[in-house]
Chains A and B, each alone.
Chain A
Amino acid sequence: MLGFLEQIINALLLGCNYALIAIGFSLFFGALNVVHFSHGDVCILGSFVFIILYMLAFSVKLFNVLPPCFGVLVLIAATVVITGILGMLFEKVVIKPFRNSNALMPLVATVALGLIIRETIRLFYPEGSNPQIFPDVLPQGYFDISGFILRYDNLIILFVTFAVITLLFFFIRFSSKGRAIRAVSQDTEAAMMMGIRLDSTIAMTFLIGSGLGALAGILNGAYISLIRFDMGLMSGVKGWSAATIGGLGNIYGAIIGGFLFGFVETFACAYVPGGTAYKDVFAFSVVIFFLIFRPSGILGEKVYEKV
């Protein structure tokens, strides 16, 4: 029973990571009908940006001025903003030129962008090809509830993810920018006729999506405490898969898909004999299964083709 509870915590943690990445995929797809394939690499870029900022903060002795926990929050906020702006730039340079062309061009372009991001990290970060140790930014320690161990950092990761998702929910639901994002994803042309600025709305979605991705990168780094330049590829593919399972373009679907993915992977690891090596096989089989039997995802609406 205790083991089962632990597996649930693990699944939730993994699900948080996938959900944060999948939200980005869904936002971009909603706004532009493109798959931003390098989004996973943007997330890892976020965690590298955080490491760099952390070391900078150390060298200027920021933590002597600010209390450590506040300092880390400032750094996380700065990382999220920087990565968000980088994401906006990527959109301007790599995705915008293909706005009116065949939908598969931006896919290939972002595959190449992912390659460039990975190589940039590998080449320009000192010893970038080796795994990097992620700083311990979250408090160490645990509650011991009659044998069931609940670590502080796990709790914080869960709490932060749920808080961010709730904030995003309110933002999308009630703010005017959020309404613009929803309008664009529903019908781009009609939204433009209503006076919504397409460019700034798209830039906004990329800012939010990439910022959430950076947060996912930081939390994931803090959780597994080792990051590598090429981890982004796999997490990108999984985020895309999670978003697709939930229904591309639907943010809530992305969250559900992310957690579903986390559960499938963790339970395949824990309860299928010899499953550890095949956990990704299980996860991707679920994706294929979903795409064949429910192509529009869990929450996605069925699209009727019009002539």
Chain B
Amino acid sequence: MQGDRGYLDKVKIFFAECFLLGLFILFMRVEHIIGILILIFGMGACWYIYDKLENVQISIREILKREKIFSMILTFVILVCVPIFLKDSVYLLNLCIWAGIYVMLATGLNYQIGSTNIVNLATAASYGIGAYTSALISVHTGISFWLVILIAGCASGFMGFILGLPTLKTKDYYLTLVTLAFGLIVYLVLNNLEFTGGPNGIGDIPPPTIFGYSFRQDLHIFGMTLPYHVNFYYLVLFLASFYTLISNRLYHSRVGLTWNAIREDEIAAKCVGINTTNYKILSFVINCFLDGMTGAVYAHYVSFISPENFQFFLSVVVVTMVILGGIDNVFGVVFGAVLLTLLPEKFRVFQDFRLMLYGVIVIATLIFRPKGLFPQKLRKYAEG
């Protein structure tokens, strides 16, 4: 019996994921605004109904829990197949890469806003430091990208450590102000320093290579020719999956539990013997390390960076993604990042009103769904 049910579950998951893939491709492909609106309202309605049906949610969660490994591998395989459906449009591939980069930033920030309740408005700074470190090293020394990405991560992580030190003394708004001031300082310094190129930025950053194969070279595979963006898509997909996996493991580890304890009540956490300072600094370091690696990927993908790419607004966007998706829920954060990358692009018809729409969406979400679209459930350690 068990075998039969497992088989049935796998089939169900397979069709569900194929359906989602189809929906995603359709959403990417639709260009007419009426089509987009119909799709969005349709999905919104489905989601609304789903949100009301507790039983369905529980059964879906149970199926996914039983077939965890299978569904994860299947999702990965399906994401690997995405470029085949989008190979004729560089624009859409580019969009997917951006979605991936934002997923990476958002999962990183989730350690702070989600797990530990530190509103860090310096994402742009850590991301920018990673990007600039990697770009400077690559341009001047020609060290392999795979080493540079780690160096960028370390540089940014070290910055995170410095930024985390004030947690010894400050918290809440004060800590947010420290991160905000730090982010602005980094932007201003990048804009004014000589060796970072000032406002002109750094150009001609070499693409990553692997065994002599350059990433800026069209991909020939199974008799198909895919644009070179696909290489970067796979890189970003690999890293983003890696980030989400780390996130997931950390959430279920003792560290994640400790962070949550600090979020819920710092004094109580101290009383049970948690060294809150160390754990807060740890969340800074991990977040900045991941941001730094993301920055390196970004720099090598676009091959030109300037301080304009690392402005305050970027930090706000990433904060918004975490909050919209669902605080501390890894799946929700990923969903929020993808949604908020694609929506503004799909609303190109509204052109100038896009940013305003963004603001309205954020406020509406905060008021009507303060825990995000996919709220995190309470931890459960025992059945029943």
Q: Is the CB of B180 within 8 A of A104?
A: no
Q: Is the CB of A291 within 8 A of B173?
A: no
- Decide yes or no: A244 and B316 within 8 Å by CB, A119-B359, A237-B184, A280-B184 being known contacts: no
Residues of A within 8 A of B339 (CB): none
Number of interface residues of B (CB under 8 A): 40
- Decide yes or no: A123 and B356 within 8 Å by CB, A105-B366, A291-B169, A292-B166 being known contacts: yes
Closest to B355 in A: A119
Find the residue from B319, B352, B359 having the highest chain A CB count within 10 A: B359
Contact with A along B169-198 (1 / 0, CB 8 A): 110111011101110110011011000000
Closest to B179 in A: A288
Q: Is the CB of A120 within 8 A of B356?
A: yes
Minimum distance in angstroms from A237 CB to a CB of chain B: 6
Residues of B within 8 A of A244 (CB): 173-174, 177
Q: Does B347 contact A (CB under 8 A)?
A: no
Q: Does B360 contact A (CB under 8 A)?
A: yes
Select A108's contact among B182, B312, B323, B360, beta carbons within 8 Å: B323
Q: Is the CB of A108 within 8 A of B185?
A: no
Residues of A within 8 A of B165 (CB): 292
Closest to A105 in B: B366
Q: Does A11 contact B (CB under 8 A)?
A: no
Write the residues of chain A forming the contact surface with B, with a CB cutoff of 8 angstroms. Answer: 29, 35, 94, 97-98, 101-105, 107-109, 111-113, 115-116, 119-120, 122-123, 233, 237, 240-241, 244, 248, 277-278, 280-281, 284-285, 287-288, 291-293, 295, 305, 307
Q: Is the CB of A291 within 8 A of B166?
A: yes
Q: Does B123 contact A (CB under 8 A)?
A: no
Minimum distance in angstroms from A122 CB to a CB of chain B: 8
Residues of A within 8 A of B319 (CB): 108, 111
Find the residue from B119, B184, B353 having the highest chain A CB count within 10 A: B184
Q: Is the CB of B366 within 8 A of A108?
A: yes
Interface of B is mostly: helix
A102 and B372 CA atoms in complex are apart in Å by 14
- Decide yes or no: A104 and B366 within 8 Å by CB, A116-B359, A284-B185, A288-B182 being known contacts: no
Minimum distance in angstroms from B198 CB to a CB of chain A: 9
Q: Does B363 contact A (CB under 8 A)?
A: yes
Select A278's contact among B169, B182, B192, beta carbons within 8 Å: B192
17 A–B contact pairs at CB < 8 A? A104-B117, A105-B370, A108-B323, A108-B366, A111-B362, A115-B359, A122-B352, A123-B353, A237-B181, A241-B177, A244-B173, A278-B189, A281-B189, A291-B174, A292-B170, A295-B169, A305-B267
Minimum distance in angstroms from B123 CB to a CB of chain A: 13
Q: Does B98 contact A (CB under 8 A)?
A: no
A63 and B290 CA atoms in complex are apart in Å by 61
A280 and B166 CA atoms in complex are apart in Å by 20
Minimum distance in angstroms from B181 CB to a CB of chain A: 4
Q: Is the CB of B172 within 8 A of A112?
A: no
A198 and B319 CA atoms in complex are apart in Å by 31
Q: Does B158 contact A (CB under 8 A)?
A: no
Q: Is the CB of B173 within 8 A of A281?
A: no
Q: Is the CB of A112 within 8 A of B362?
A: yes
A98 and B371 CA atoms in complex are apart in Å by 12
Closest to A97 in B: B367
Closest to B361 in A: A112
Residues of A within 8 A of B184 (CB): 237, 280, 284
Residues of A within 8 A of B355 (CB): 115, 119
Interface residues of B in 90-135 (CB under 8 A from A): 113, 117, 119
Q: Is the CB of B320 within 8 A of A108?
A: yes
Interface residues of B in 145-179 (CB under 8 A from A): 165-166, 169-170, 172-174, 176-178
Residues of A within 8 A of B320 (CB): 108, 112
Residues of A within 8 A of B267 (CB): 305, 307
Q: Does B331 contact A (CB under 8 A)?
A: no
A120 and B355 CA atoms in complex are apart in Å by 10
Q: Is the CB of A113 within 8 A of B177?
A: no
Q: Does B358 contact A (CB under 8 A)?
A: yes
A119 and B361 CA atoms in complex are apart in Å by 14
Residues of B within 8 A of A240 (CB): 177
